[in-house]
Structure 1
Amino acid sequence: MLTSVTSAEAGRWRTERTPYLREVMQALSAASRVERVVLIKGAQLGGTEAGLNWLGYVIHHAPGPMLLVQPTVEGAKRVSKQRIDALIESCPALSERVKDPRSRDSGNTQLMKEFPGGVVILTGANSAVGLRSMPVRYLFLDEVDGYPGDADGEGDPVALAMQRTVTFINRKIYLCSTPTIKGFSRIEAAYLESDQRVYEVPCDHCGQYSPILWRDIRWPEGRSEEAAWRCPHCGGLHPEHRKPALLAAGRWTPRAAGDGKTAGFHLSSLYSPWLTWAEIAQEHQAVKDDPVRLKVWVNTKLAETWEDRDGESLDAEGLMARREAYGPAAPASVAVLTCGVDVQDDRIELEVVGWGRDEESWSIDYKVLWGDPSAPQLWDELDAYLSQRFAHETLAQGLAIEAACIDTGGHHTLSAYAFCRGKERRRIWAIKGGAGKKPIWPKRPSKANKGRVSLFTIGVDAAKEAIYARLKKVGPGPGAMHFPLDRDAEYFEQLTAERIRTRYVKGFPQRFWWKPDGRRNEALDCRVYAYAALHGLLSMGLNLNRRVEALPQAPAVRAQTVGQVVVATPTTPSPRRRMAISSNYI
């Protein structure tokens, strides 16, 4: 049973809404000889819901010990409260077997659900204790590409969890996830070991079966709302309203022999009953020029890994040649200013960044405040700087810095805490960097520090990946990064100082950021902190594009190159040119 808490379509589960999940769930049943089921999927497809159906089936029909693993313990608690408890309460067959958690000795807690003949244990991949708690017959690994590379120093969490099932000859393992980066994606690696099934649908015109692929989604130029699937065999078009019939008549076709024990299923969001081809096409049009957002689209909509060139370096000289003639006033397209502050032994370095539509950015100012960070004078100077307004091309009152992130994780930590204390209303935030799979901005701060301040642990790896991807983008547009003429060679050397490298921990690859000895990276750190400050504002409800739309209109500019310097000059509006026809247009 689906409840309104967990689903947009409350009521009894109907497999005909997602016919592609029928074979997935059959493979999870006790009647199937398949030992491991792998689902590499996009968004809005019901993959996790299929796993919860399996959980209900285990409780009702094939009891035994089961372990359900989420990326974090907090995530496991949330799934337990919001989804599993709702599932049990809404289904009489399950509520009869799992006692009310309010009754004494019910065996029903947030991370454990006992029932006749078995138990469901929930844990996070970041908890080695939870992963080696007990032998289990059933193992549900949800969103495995979100797991950390190492669980409390005891090794790969997937390997630890798998070890719990070795004593059961009739074990069943379900791995379900959206993929991430090629070569580091656990779900892709598991799928490649399987028989690699794809879901094929029959053409209305020629009857040939084919998978629904992005390259076959077509629409008239400028009318992505009319996106349709084109048969790759005969070219016949199938509009959106034909999707339910196509899915109902579809079939799974293996593309490899596999290991004989693993059934692998690949599903992109193009099959989703809740996402139209038009919506997916429109989202692609919005993100295709921004590598950061395009990566998310490829992962979550196409269910494909993003190929990242490991160790690729950026050319500092090439970036310097792309400097532009703007300033000292912020360009007319800038709607929000943030600041990143890096604290060193004898100075404070900071960068003010202006943000425009789709996170296009302009470096507004880079400053070094020399002095002793253990003395109050330097912090007073920083306070005065953060309080000033910056000139703007079209706003007479200029712009203020709306948020600033102050690094407290390195030098003069207590002094940085003292400066940030009491300034949260001004959105001057104390931060420290956290490596690994962390979001750029955390859901909540911690006060477990000597300064008793709200301390935000930001995901520096994710921020650096976003910045480096956008530095490779040439020209204006979503995510583009602009730099003024006064940025010197040292600035660009620092901005590109680090590299992504791969190391193997207990046989498993892990990505990490490496800085050569002797290289400085303060400019990169300041940009990371300024970007994190933007994400802090976004978490508070800032709509960046709407803020841009509210700016006063300014004359359009045309970029031209003078030597190796890009110069922006006013120009008169020209008629909108017809969009070039791409491979996705009919």
Structure 2
Amino acid sequence: MPGSTWASWRNSGPSSGDRIDAPFDGAEDLLQAWTAGLTPDPDLTVSAWADRHRILSLRGANEAGPWRTSRTPYLQELMDALSPRHPAQRVVFMKGSQLGASESGCNWIGYVIHHAPGPMLAVQPSVELAKRFSQQRIDPLIEESPSLREKVAPARSRDSGNTVLSKEFPGGILVLTGANSAVGLRSMPVRYLFLDEVDAYPPSADDEGDPVALAEARTRTFSWRRKVFLASTPTIKGLSRIEREYEASDQRRFFVPCPHCGESQSMTFERLRWQKGQPETAAYVCEACERPIAEHHKTMMLEKGEWRPTAVPVDPLSIGFHLSSLYSPVGWLSWERVAREWELCQSSDEAKRSFINTVLGETWAETGEAPDWLRLYERREDWRIGTVPPGGLFLTAGADVQKDRIEVSVWAWGRGLESWLIDHLVIDGGPGEAATWTRLSVLLGETWPHASGVRLGVARLGIDSGYEAPAVYAWARRQGWGQVLPIKGAEGFNRSAPVSGPTHVDATEGGVRIRRGARLWTVAVATFKSETYRFLRSAAPTGDDPIDRYPAGFIHLPRQVDAEWVKQLVAEQLVTVKTKRGFSRLEWQKLRERNEVLDCRVYARAAAWIAGADRWPERKWRELEAQVAFDTGDEETTATESNAGEKSPTAGKLAAAPRRGRRVFHSSYVS
């Protein structure tokens, strides 16, 4: 075999730190990898490797320099469970923020590259996040740690095997992908699998199934030698993947001693006490001696802490760790800041949910009970239906297609997603009748008078494609994709991105495939239903001057809507059901047969999200306010552009010509 380096390496046998400098042909490289694979796993643990070799970069860490496990003692046992000789095959970490979880995963990756090479797959919620993780975490990991620079060639070298989503090293390869890519999840067998932020994964990867299950199927080849690490901040109770995995484990919690009495305890938020309005007085109160513990004692408490199982695992090879941000080291997330964030989030369920998830590391229990329809009916307000009150700045509509009619709700939206029902229309006729779609097309040209005197048209119309999808796609193509948005409902909750797309789907018209198909938006309808119920529970201001004092998201209903319409708005409830595998999940179920009003609201809300209302900067809202602040008295349509050149979602729909002729719609819900 050519090359003295290869011969000396072969005769002496490989060691964990050896590097092969001589160039080899394919057969020699294969023999090298095969021989390294037969080498026993090293005794060195992941935490010991990190203390010896890991250098933190300013690009990805707030404390640059050599890694010190003593800074975060609670991570030692977790990282060591990822070492090849530890018996656990699945390691679960349900956690809050500011705890070093991502760096633990990076330490494991570095350990695999350096000491226990093999095929490894790291999965982020999306391919884009995988690229970002590679650039912000993996590249600094390799560049700043000399022992890893020797193993992974620089990306700029020719045929280095080092790309954004793939890092080759002697005896193994690290592949990074997104949970939204089925191709990436089934690309190769792997021994090591790192599933990061699993609660942010989509319900299905390219409609091919659960991304966690697809990824874990890649480890079957390695049987008992495999190692799977699942880490995530939890989300919604009954839907959280990380909660389900943690509950199947031995459910370990970190017990720390009281500096006063020595009693060991797992810290809970209920024991953090402070004077109302004075978060700087926050202290932890011992559950045994009831004495307050100051923040500066935390370092000693963490050093003497220990993990204790609290349950019998369903899977004996699965161990689980739960940690809240109360354990965050001194200088990272203080108890004072935790107390301050809790006080700030009291006015918003959404902010409170974020606190429960990201600070406490616990799941949020959705309140799925339907709001009282009678209370909503009694709080209707005095403005004429078919007109837009002063706070409304742009309109969207939601259309629900039934076999004998299409129902449409038109909603006005203002700052903070405050909304007003402007109209509810019923178009008689099924989707198979051309006249039905003609009438719906007329609606797109309708305008409604604003309190300022201008007239507003529908900026976006979201239409359900679940019934007679080909007819919906055909009509949407004729109208153009800018204003009309075909929608497909998706199961599950997705708070970070409740709408995805658009994607081109196959569609036929008269049996002929249409090039590129239809543009379809996928909507997590459960997310918007929960949001709607949360907004409906908001209390109206009690003062004499309610202007600008309605809570964000408040839903206004005009006096003309009848009881049937209101009942349909709250026609479903969120319930917990058991799957065939015995797991719990949340599901929206009907309380009554008719629920078209709620569906129309969800589609109109999705249209507002697609228009960008959830992400607009302040200047965009000021621009919309300026557009409705005056009446030009002109029958010509006006269109304005934003400062950035981006077309406003209401451009061409503001000062439009008056309505022409008799309307072709009717609704039995409004008078």
TM-score by length of 1: 0.77
CA deviation digits over 1:434-466, x for unaligned, max 9?
A: 413545555775578979998654432321222
Note if contact 2:392-2:419 (Cα within 8 Å) is conserved in structure 1: no
2:613 pairs with 1:524 = no
Give the drift of 1:69: 2.3
Q: Secondary structure, in 3 states, of the residue corresponding to 1:7?
A: coil
Residues 310-329 of structure 1 aligned to structure 2 (within 5 Å): 314=370, 317-328=373-384
Note if contact 1:354-1:364 (Cα within 8 Å) is conserved in structure 2: no
2:366 pairs with 1:301 = no
User: Which of residues 488, 508, 517 is equivalent to 2:562?
Assistant: 488
Change (3 A) 1:171 1:208: same
Q: Residue in 2 aligned with 1:557?
A: none
CA deviation digits over 1:519-543, x for unaligned, max 9?
A: 3414432344236515753554335
CA distance in 2, matches of 1:41, 1:261: 20
Larger deviation: 104-113 or 17-26?
104-113
CA distance in 2, matches of 1:250, 1:496: 49
2:94 pairs with 1:40 = yes
CA distance in 1, matches of 2:613, 2:294: 36
2:422 pairs with 1:365 = yes
CA deviation digits over 1:216-243, x for unaligned, max 9?
A: 1221122234333222222322344544
CA distance in 2, matches of 1:401, 1:159: 46
CA deviation digits over 1:552-581, x for unaligned, max 9?
A: xxxxxxxxxxxxxxxxxxxxxxxxxxxxxx
CA distance in 1, matches of 2:67, 2:456: 52
2:120 pairs with 1:63 = no
Note if contact 1:338-1:534 (Cα within 8 Å) is conserved in structure 2: no
Q: Secondary structure, in 3 states, of the residue corresponding to 1:275?
A: coil
Q: Secondary structure, in 3 states, of the residue corresponding to 2:383?
A: coil
Note if contact 1:320-1:489 (Cα within 8 Å) is conserved in structure 2: no
Q: Secondary structure, in 3 states, of the residue corresponding to 1:162?
A: helix
AA aligned opposite 1:83: R
Q: Residue in 2 aligned with 1:229?
A: 284
Change (3 A) 1:320 1:150: same
Q: Secondary structure, in 3 states, of the residue corresponding to 2:81?
A: helix
Note if contact 1:52-1:84 (Cα within 8 Å) is conserved in structure 2: yes
Note if contact 1:36-1:261 (Cα within 8 Å) is conserved in structure 2: yes
Give the drift of 1:79: 2.4
CA distance in 2, matches of 1:275, 1:10: 17
Note if contact 1:113-1:121 (Cα within 8 Å) is conserved in structure 2: yes
Residues 210-359 of structure 1 aligned to structure 2 (within 5 Å): 210-258=265-313, 260-273=316-329, 274-308=332-366, 314=370, 317-328=373-384, 334=391, 337-342=394-399, 344=401, 349-355=408-414, 359=417
2:167 pairs with 1:113 = yes
Give the drift of 1:306: 2.5
Q: Residue in 2 aligned with 1:194?
A: 249
2:522 pairs with 1:460 = no
Larger relative contact order (CA 8 Å, sep ≥ 6): 1
User: Which of residues 136, 139, 143 is equivalent to 2:193?
Assistant: 139
CA deviation digits over 1:338-371, x for unaligned, max 9?
A: 53332658666233244455x5x34342232758
Change (3 A) 1:18 1:494: same
Change (3 A) 1:516 1:109: farther
AA aligned opposite 1:462: T
Note if contact 1:434-1:459 (Cα within 8 Å) is conserved in structure 2: yes
Note if contact 1:291-1:470 (Cα within 8 Å) is conserved in structure 2: no
AA aligned opposite 1:529: A
Give the drift of 1:419: 4.2
Q: Secondary structure, in 3 states, of the residue corresponding to 2:225?
A: coil
Residues 382-397 of structure 1 aligned to structure 2 (within 5 Å): 382-385=444-447, 390-391=450-451
CA distance in 1, matches of 2:122, 2:583: 22
Give the total of aligned pairs.
Answer: 532
Larger deviation: 312-321 or 266-275?
312-321
Give the drift of 1:384: 4.5
Change (3 A) 1:415 1:279: farther
Q: Residue in 2 aligned with 1:582?
A: none
Note if contact 1:348-1:373 (Cα within 8 Å) is conserved in structure 2: no
AA aligned opposite 1:489: A
Change (3 A) 1:405 1:116: same
Change (3 A) 1:487 1:196: same
Note if contact 1:137-1:165 (Cα within 8 Å) is conserved in structure 2: yes
AA aligned opposite 2:310: R
Change (3 A) 1:164 1:346: closer
Give the drift of 1:51: 0.7
User: Which of residues 17, 20, 23 is equivalent to 2:77?
Assistant: 23
Q: Secondary structure, in 3 states, of the residue corresponding to 2:195?
A: strand
Q: Secondary structure, in 3 states, of the residue corresponding to 1:169?
A: helix
Q: Secondary structure, in 3 states, of the residue corresponding to 1:304?
A: coil
* CA-atom RMSD in angstroms: 3.9
Q: Secondary structure, in 3 states, of the residue corresponding to 2:242?
A: helix
AA aligned opposite 1:288: Q
Give the drift of 1:68: 1.7
Larger deviation: 262-271 or 180-189?
180-189
CA distance in 1, matches of 2:252, 2:225: 23
CA distance in 1, matches of 2:484, 2:343: 35
Q: Secondary structure, in 3 states, of the residue corresponding to 2:104?
A: helix
Give the drift of 1:40: 0.5
AA aligned opposite 2:570: T
AA aligned opposite 1:271: Y
Note if contact 1:289-1:478 (Cα within 8 Å) is conserved in structure 2: no
Give the drift of 1:302: 1.4
Change (3 A) 1:22 1:179: same
TM-score by length of 2: 0.68
Give the drift of 1:65: 1.8
Give the drift of 1:48: 2.0
**Gapped regions of structure 1 (runs ≥ 5):** 552-586
User: Which of residues 131, 152, 168 is equivalent to 1:98?
Assistant: 152
The higher radius of gyration belongs to: 2
Q: Residue in 2 aligned with 1:584?
A: none
Give the drift of 1:154: 5.5
Give the drift of 1:54: 0.4
Change (3 A) 1:231 1:398: farther
Larger deviation: 124-133 or 21-30?
124-133
CA distance in 1, matches of 2:125, 2:524: 16
Larger deviation: 464-473 or 321-330?
321-330
CA deviation digits over 1:139-184, x for unaligned, max 9?
A: 2122222334455565544344334334343322211112223333
CA distance in 2, matches of 1:335, 1:348: 22
AA aligned opposite 2:409: L
AA aligned opposite 2:450: F
Change (3 A) 1:373 1:348: farther
CA distance in 1, matches of 2:461, 2:617: 17
User: Which of residues 52, 62, 67 is equivalent to 2:106?
Assistant: 52
Give the drift of 1:80: 2.6
**Gapped regions of structure 2 (runs ≥ 5):** 1-54, 429-434, 507-514, 542-550, 627-671
Larger deviation: 93-102 or 430-439?
430-439
